[in-house]
Structure 1
Amino acid sequence: MATTKLTLSVDPEVIAKARRISKLRKTSVSAMFSRYIATLEESKQRETPLPPMTKRALALAAGTAPVPENWDYRDELKDILDERYGLK
């Protein structure tokens, strides 16, 4: 496979880490980069589409207000059960 030279701007610490890792793995930084990009592409292809029910639920929730930070489903469930069984 023919290769082409690529110039990247990377933090010097990252370059040092990449060189150490490549030395430990007995490979080149270029080979590691190539494998990493190939892995990203494969993982993108393996993404499975959402099931229809999940898509529908997301569509229904799209226009709703966000859940407050302090909301706890257990409090909500307790209130519902208390009301159902006349404990309120």
Structure 2
Amino acid sequence: MYYDHKKVEWLKERYPEGTRICLNRMNDDPFPVESGTLGRVDHVDDIGTLHCIFDNGRTLGVIPGVDDFHVIREGSEQTEEEEMNMSM
């Protein structure tokens, strides 16, 4: 999935470096990171992929709108569910 420049800029603002996420499920990866794995965003590239470093040592790109994940708010047990509308 590719996003236009405006959507990529929004993703970069929405998921800055260090954003903590919890992966719910990867849909199209032959060697997915396990569901429930926590990680942090290293950077968002120019096509909108979130490159993440997971707590189990794996690094892998997460694709908003394809992979299922949610943001973890630091210092809180609560999470923010991601309801991404990719029709921008």
TM-score (norm 1): 0.24
Give the number of the structure whose alpha-carbon radius of gyration is greater.
Answer: 1
Answer 1 or 2: higher relative contact order, Cα 8 Å, separation at least 6. 2
Q: Comparing both structures, which one devotes a greater share of its residues to strand?
A: 2
Q: Which has the higher helix share?
A: 1
